[in-house]
Structure 1
Amino acid sequence: MGEQLGQLKIIVVQGKRLVIRDFKSSDPYVVLKLGNQEVFDKDLLKSDDKMGNAFLNLQPLVSAARLRDILGVSSGETTLRKVIPDNENCLVRESSINCVNGEVAQNVWLRLRGVESGEVELTIKLVKNVTTKT
């Protein structure tokens, strides 16, 4: 079994310039895929409409978490790495990976593909697992 760097947490902050797929608005949701795992919510009232997709390589976040452990960073805020838009991600602009009080976090704007327009802002955190003794 590989090393455990922590728990991955994804926070959907906001979307902008999303396409309208219903009459006057849309009820978008985010589907997250990690390997063969999926987390999602379905539209109960009608069939789902495609509102775009995006991808992000998590390897820079994992590398930053390893660097956090090597450096022993556990308090304050430290920038560990910068990630630029390329063919391994759908980043709109450069993004920093920071260690904030032991949590490795990256705030990203991703451009949606396969649609006329749309971007989604996510905060991705790799939080150290806290074990408790019983």
Structure 2
Amino acid sequence: MERLLGLLKVKVVRGLNLAICDPLSHSSDPYVVIRLGQQKVKSSIKYKTINPEWNEELTLSITNWTLPVKIEVFDHDTFTKDDTMGDAEFSILDFVEIAVKDLTHVRDDTVMKTFQPNEENCYSADSHIMWKDGKVTQNMALKLRNTDTGELIMHLEWVNLPPGMSR
């Protein structure tokens, strides 16, 4: 059995300029699916929009920090298979390495690491792992792949295990 390292809260903030899958209404009915290993969590559906506001927090249990977090955006359809609207993925390796350290001596609002967009990642803007208000956090804008348009804005936050739970 793998040991639980902590919890990753993934806040799906919003989507920007997502693909139009319903041409008659010139919109889509998007939702987000997040996978990490065998875990799968899903946002609610936002109807008739290509700029959805979710502000939903989904939680993943972290036992293997080497696996990427995979994201898919779908257009909900009532009578047919849901359409894919793009995907993205990101590594949590650096995030978890920082999160499991003792950071009590670190000054608030300290940038622990910065990621810049490049061909090897899905970032569409600089993203910083921060120590803020006693928590390790990261804001990210991800450019969706396998589609012509669309970004997801997300926020990560690490939750340590309660005292007594083994790492």
Which bin holds the TM-score, normalised by the shorter protein? 0.7 to 0.9
Aligned length: 129
Cα deviation for residue 62 of structure 1 reads 1.0
Identity %: 36
What does residue range 1-134 of structure 1 map to in structure 2 within 5 Å? 1-2=2-3, 4=5, 6-22=6-22, 23-24=24-25, 25-40=27-42, 43=76, 45-46=78-79, 47-67=81-101, 69=102, 71-73=103-105, 76-131=108-163
Q: Which has the higher helix share?
A: 1
Could you list the structure 1 runs, at least 4 aligned residues long, displaced by more than 4 angstroms after superposition. none
CA contact (8 A) 1:74 1:101 kept: no
CA RMSD of aligned residues (A): 2.4
Query: Relative to total residues, which structure has the larger strand share, 1 or 2?
Result: 2
Q: Deviations over 1:35-70 (max 9, x none)?
A: 121112584723311100000111121122134x1x
Cα contact 2:129–2:137 (8 A) shared by 1: yes
> Could you state the TM-score of these two structures normalised by the residue count of structure 1?
0.82
Gaps of 5+ in 1: none
Question: For 1:59-103, what per-residue CA distance to the aligned partner results, in whole angstroms no more than 9, with x for missing partners?
Answer: 121122134x1x424773221111122455200121111011221
- What's the TM-score once normalised by structure 2's chain length? 0.67
Measured at CA, do residues 28 and 14 of structure 1 come closer, stay the same or move farther in structure 2, by a change above 3 Å? same
Whole-Å Cα distance in 2 between the matches of residues 37 and 50 of structure 1? 19
Kept in 1: contact 2:11–2:155 (CA 8 A): yes
1:29 alignment partner, SS class: strand
Higher RCO (CA < 8 A, seq sep 6+): 1
SS state of the match for residue 94, structure 2? helix
Deviation at 1:130, TM superposition (A): 3.5
Match of 2:56 in 1: none
Distance 1:90 1:56 in 2: 7
More displaced stretch, 73-82 vs 116-125: 73-82
